[in-house]
């Protein structure tokens, strides 16, 4: 089945005001609604609403950090959405970033690969309704059992940017979620994950024919994200290290304006889809043609009504 996802909630739209649009999504051709979790809404509450508003949609988190909830609370949150959307929920988990984990949530950001692996293994057991007592490398759980295990355990996908995590996703998860990549990067990621597992990616889409405005917004986002060490390493692996070196040097010197200016147009155009809605749809489809299973559109703000942009970007 061809999948076409949207990121909720939309920028600048109150959560309760999404009701009518979310009800429309299946008829527009959208199959999935995915959330994120940084400093806006939490990842689960919008999905609880979407489960009621559009029972046909598959729902997913991309992603929930493995550090900011205890293992048991994470299992309870996931089980709640799985009960509301039986067989239609995918739990995406990942490390997030030191800024979010340590700076905003006062948690330790240590051994990210092991913590993700351990959380995945715990969730497999807990969401199957098992009583879990286990000593993992990064935490221990004693006698935990969900009071309301879901009738259908959700799929679990891992946020993965480089070979180690992609291979873990291939071995032990139901798929991988990636972020900030171009359509031409998909084959390299897919080669590490293998051909069978689901590959989800958030695709940033700015539906405007004002290329300079789209690139200006894209540069702000790219300098914010790709200077994070995990994303910097990801793009080194993808082959953009030299293209992004001037940005990194200016950022390290504390000059954000110069860092933004140093990002080449070709990088912005690779990583941010922009143009007319028709052109944007074609560009998103190119990700699928290159091996992506599930594109999840994140609509970047323009002067237009975000809901109308969602309608315009729907698959035809």
Reported as type and span, the H/E element at residue 166 is helix 163-172
**How many CB atoms lie under 10 A from the CB of residue 258?**
15
**Cα 293 to Cα 276: distance, rounded to the nearest angstrom:** 23
Q: Where are the extended beta strands (E) located within the chain?
A: 5-7, 32-35, 58-61, 64-65, 89-94, 132-135, 140-144, 155-159, 175-179, 198-206, 272-274, 294-299
User: What pLDDT, on a 0 to 100 scale, did the predictor assign at position 113?
Assistant: 97
pLDDT tens for 113-127 read 999 999 999 999 999
Judged against a pLDDT cut of 90, whether residue 179 lies above it is answered with: yes
Q: How confident is the model at residue 218 (pLDDT cuts 50, 70, 90)?
A: very high
User: What pLDDT, on a 0 to 100 scale, did the predictor assign at position 303?
Assistant: 86
Give the pTM. Answer: 0.96
Contact by Cβ (8 Å): 101, 68: yes
> Pick from 154, 175, 180: which is nearest to 298 by CA?
180
User: What pLDDT, on a 0 to 100 scale, did the predictor assign at position 54?
Assistant: 98
User: What pLDDT, on a 0 to 100 scale, did the predictor assign at position 76?
Assistant: 98
Q: Judging by beta carbons within 10 Å of its beta carbon (0-12, 13-18, 19+), is residue 257 exposed, middle or buried?
A: exposed
Work out the percent of the chain whose per-residue pLDDT is above 90: 99
pLDDT tens for 223-275 read 999 999 999 999 999 999 999 999 999 999 999 999 999 999 999 999 999 99
Q: How confident is the model at residue 316 (pLDDT cuts 50, 70, 90)?
A: confident
- Record the tokens describing residue 80, joined without a space: 């709640």
For residue 9, whether the previous peptide bond is cis, meaning omega lies within 30 degrees of 0, is yes
pLDDT tens for 193-216 read 999 999 999 999 999 999 999 999
For residue 212, how many C-alpha atoms fall within 13 Å in the half-sphere facing its CB? 0
Contact by Cβ (8 Å): 179, 160: no
**Cα 295 to Cα 225: distance, rounded to the nearest angstrom:** 19
pLDDT tens for 46-102 read 999 999 999 999 999 999 999 999 999 999 999 999 999 999 999 999 999 999 999
For residue 63, whether the previous peptide bond is cis, meaning omega lies within 30 degrees of 0, is yes
Judged against a pLDDT cut of 80, whether residue 293 lies above it is answered with: yes
């Amino acid at each position: 089945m061809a999948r076409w996802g949207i990121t909720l909630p939309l920028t600048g739209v109150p959560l309760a005001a999404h009701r009518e649009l979310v009800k429309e999504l299946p008829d527009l051709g959208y199959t999935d609604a995915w959330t994120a979790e940084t400093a806006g809404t939490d990842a689960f509450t919008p999905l609880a609403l979407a489960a009621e508003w559009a029972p046909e949609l598959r729902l997913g988190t991309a992603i929930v950090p493995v550090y900011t909830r205890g293992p048991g609370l994470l299992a309870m949150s996931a089980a709640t959405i799985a009960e509301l959307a039986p067989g239609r929920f995918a739990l995406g988990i990942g490390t997030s970033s030191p800024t979010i984990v340590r700076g905003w949530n006062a948690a330790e950001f240590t051994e990210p690969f092991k913590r993700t692996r351990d959380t995945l293994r715990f969730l497999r057991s807990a969401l199957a309704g098992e009583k879990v007592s286990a000593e993992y490398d990064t935490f221990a759980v004693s006698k935990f059992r969900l009071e309301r295990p879901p009738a259908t355990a959700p799929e679990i996908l891992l946020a993965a940017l480089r070979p180690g995590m992609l291979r873990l996703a291939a071995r032990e998860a139901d798929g991988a979620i990636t972020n900030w990549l171009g359509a031409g990067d998909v084959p390299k990621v897919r080669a590490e994950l293998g051909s069978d597992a689901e590959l989800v990616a958030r695709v940033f889409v700015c539906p405007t024919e004002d290329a300079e405005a789209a690139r200006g917004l894209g540069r702000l986002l790219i300098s914010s994200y790709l200077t994070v060490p995990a994303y910097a390493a990801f793009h080194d692996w993808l082959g953009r290290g030299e293209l992004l070196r001037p940005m990194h040097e200016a950022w390290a010197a504390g000059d954000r304006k110069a860092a933004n200016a140093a990002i080449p147009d070709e990088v912005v155009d690779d990583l941010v889809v922009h143009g007319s809605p028709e052109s944007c749809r074609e560009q998103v489809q190119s990700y699928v043609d290159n091996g992506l299973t599930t594109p999840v559109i994140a609509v970047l703000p323009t002067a237009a009504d975000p809901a109308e942009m969602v309608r315009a970007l729907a698959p035809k």
